[in-house]
Every structure is written in C-alpha cells, then in structure tokens.
C-alpha cells in the first residue's frame, strides 16, 4: 500500500477527533459554492458532516457520501435526517443528470481524478457544477506557521490544474473567505490527531508531536480562553461541459422498387433451358431436347 493510500484510509481511526477538532465552513463560502437558491446537492467525502451541516442549514437537499464507515457513523449521528451512503467519488450512487451541484470539502486530492471527474459529470444536470473547498490555515501569522511545522501544512489544495485538464468541465472560478476557529488545549490536540500525517504515526512518534504542540500552545495560548486560529476557505467552482450528443445512426438504404426488367430476371426460365428427353431407355448416352 502506498503512503497516499495509507493516509487516505487513516481517518476512520480518528473520526471522533476529526469531528471535535476540525473547523466548520463560513456561510458566505457555502453560498458561493452552491448558490443562493435551494438546490439538490450531492456531497462527496462528507466526513463527519462539517460541511453537510451548513448545506442543510441553508436549505439544500443533500445526499452525503463518504467511503469510511466510521466517519459516516458520526455524520449519521449528527444529522439523522440526511440521506447518507458509503461510497467514493469513483462510483457515485446517483442517477445520470440527477443533481444540481456536486460538492466536496477537504477531499478532492484523495480522488482518482481520471475516474471520478467523468463520474461527477455523469450525475450533474446540464448547467450544474462541481464545487470544492479547503480550509487553509493562514500561515502568514508566525505562530500559525510554527503550528504548520508541527502538524503539517496542506500544499495540494489547488484544484484548478486537474479541472482544467479535464474535458468534463469548463472554466474554473475561485474565491476565498476568511474566518476563524476558536481552539483550546483539547481541541488543538484533536485538530492535530485528525491530520492524516499524524494518524499514520506510531504512538511514540505521535506523542512527541503532541508534546511539541502543547508547548507551542503554552507559549501563545490564553489558557481557558483558547486561541483564534485564522483560516481562508479556498473555493473552486466549475460548470459541467455540455454532453456530447451521440453520432446519429446512418439512415437505412431503402430497397429499390422492383422494375419490369427485374421481374423478368426473377421469372422461372425453365421453359427456355434445354431439357433431358424423357421416356428413353438408358443407353449410357445423355439425350438433350433443344426444342
């Protein structure tokens, strides 16, 4: 199993920490991603329902999908009224042209794009779009940059190249929305534990990272009041390309109407062929009547 696959499959073991430690998404970003009017939305990689919750609150009809059963169990507990399925982006449990928007948060880099993008295009209605979002920490701030060195920083959040390389989608629009997450001594550890690069470590190595994290918190934190962790919700949106119409079947060539000459050719011509004379004894000689 590759390192990428190990990390992709690591979230089930940290589902509760993920739910406690990860930030939500600002409503302005969600409106930009999906639109102001209620829509039929299929969510990929829904995790524990961080984005799902905001989509439902804004009035959208959501079908949430998530390949990890442990993550999906938290989502179902959080949002029991939402339709949820255990599925990945490469095999979406939805009919052709059945949804207005496909949305994914913190997950597009885990997809097999060659398989997933045609599948996403399949389920989108004409004029529908794919919308993607990442919460990116603002590491221009010194203590946030130090945090990134301890728990890792995402450097694969730009969805533009994969979308532009696909024939399934049109031009990519982008936007960013600033917001803040309040973290305290416990939730900042949950945030670290929910990171795939920490989740795959052994216990000793993970404990060392958490000790570094708590030392950073003690240097910069405000005790029980916590800290304000700055984020930018980086958003991407691309309309599905018009579907190619299948080539029409060639018109069948009609059979020609029979003509008098053709009818004559089809007539029995036995009366014009030479006939074997009948009623003669067998002399070993073939007699032919040419009348």
**pLDDT per position as a tens digit, 4-36:** 454 545 556 789 998 999 999 999 999 999 999
pLDDT value, residue 146 = 94
CATH number 3.40.50.150 is the correct assignment for the domain at 3-240: yes
Q: Select the highest-mean-pLDDT range: 48-57, 140-149, 157-166.
A: 48-57
Report the candidate in 78, 110, 96, 210 with the shortest Cα–Cα distance to residue 151. 210
The pLDDT tens digits of the residues spanning 173-228 come to: 999 999 999 999 899 999 998 887 787 778 898 899 999 999 999 888 766 668 89
The structural domains of the chain, with segments of one domain joined by +, span 3-240, 260-289
- 94, 192, 214 from 209: Cα distances, Å: 41, 9, 9
Pick the residue with more confidence: 111 or 4? 111
288: Cβ contacts below 8 Å, ≥ 6 apart = 274, 275, 276, 277
pLDDT per residue over 147-182, tens digit each? 999 998 766 678 889 999 999 999 999 999 999 999
């Amino acid at each position: 199993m590759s390192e990428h696959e190990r990390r992709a499959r690591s979230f089930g073991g940290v589902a509760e920490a993920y739910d406690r430690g990860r930030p939500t998404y600002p409503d302005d970003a969600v409106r930009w991603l999906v639109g102001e009017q209620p829509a039929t939305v299929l969510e990929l990689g829904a995790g524990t329902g961080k984005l799902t919750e905001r989509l439902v609150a804004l009035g959208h009809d959501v079908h949430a999908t998530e390949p990890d059963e442990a993550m999906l169990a938290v989502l179902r507990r959080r949002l029991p009224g939402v339709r949820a399925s255990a599925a990945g982006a490469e095999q979406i449990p939805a009919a052709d042209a059945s949804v207005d928007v496909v949305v994914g948060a913190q997950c597009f880099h885990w997809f097999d794009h060659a398989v997933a993008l045609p599948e996403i295009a399949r389920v989108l209605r004409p004029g529908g779009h794919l919308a993607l979002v990442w919460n990116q920490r603002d590491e221009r701030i010194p203590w946030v940059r130090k945090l990134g060195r301890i728990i890792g920083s995402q450097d694969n959040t730009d969805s533009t190249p994969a979308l532009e390389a696909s024939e399934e989608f049109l031009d990519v629009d982008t936007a960013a929305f600033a917001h803040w997450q309040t973290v305290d001594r416990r939730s900042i550890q949950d945030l670290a534990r929910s990171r795939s690069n920490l989740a795959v470590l052994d216990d000793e190595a993970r404990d060392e990272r958490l000790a570094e994290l708590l030392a950073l918190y003690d240097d910069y934190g405000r005790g029980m009041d916590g800290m304000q962790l700055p984020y930018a919700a980086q958003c991407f949106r691309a309309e599905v390309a018009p579907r190619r119409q299948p080539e029409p079947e060639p018109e069948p060539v009609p059979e020609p109407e029979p003509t008098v000459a053709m009818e004559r050719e089809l007539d029995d011509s036995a009366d014009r062929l030479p006939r074997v004379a009948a009623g003669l004894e067998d002399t070993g000689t073939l007699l032919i009547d040419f009348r």
